[in-house]
Structure 1
């Protein structure tokens, strides 16, 4: 006698088709009313120009709602003075001085000769 048998199993089959998923988001408005605090800083530069000793330099401080920060700078103070170191005293003194020396002087002598007459004229 013949009997039929059944074998069951699974397998993965590529059908070539992708899957598409859609998502729909809906928004519902919800009003809020809240007071928020926002701080702003105003910076004002105030020229002071005061000379103080380093030990007396002021520290940052509050005056009401204002925070005051002193801006310090070191400056070099150079003092220039004039001192008379010495004097030069110059006096003109005239003194006669004898001068003896030997100098050489040149002199020229002209001699003129004429042959048209028998006279000889010489000039010095």
Structure 2
């Protein structure tokens, strides 16, 4: 190339711009949560049922031909108790009856208890730690 060719040539630089986006965490505020527990004394009232059993032994000492069954007479359950006795022959003797009587009663009871309820108070702070008033 000659000197004249250099001056006729025009060099144009090609430029390209690039953009980059970056993220970073910035604290813009804080939240303080305070919890408190309130207690409340209460009396619970409830009806309780109570059933008692009374056992009475009645001597019978009677010879029977068959084994009596357990039976109920009103609110009394009768349970026969028997044994075999050797005499000249074998006899089934009803020795006693066990009578079981049930009685029911109701009782009012009061039980003191403590109930707890939790509350939360939220306080918002800005980035410098100052409270945000909403």
TM-score (norm 2): 0.36
Structure 1 or 2: larger strand share? 2
Larger Rg: 1
Larger RCO (alpha carbons 8 Å, 6+ apart): 2
Structure 1 length-normalised TM: 0.38
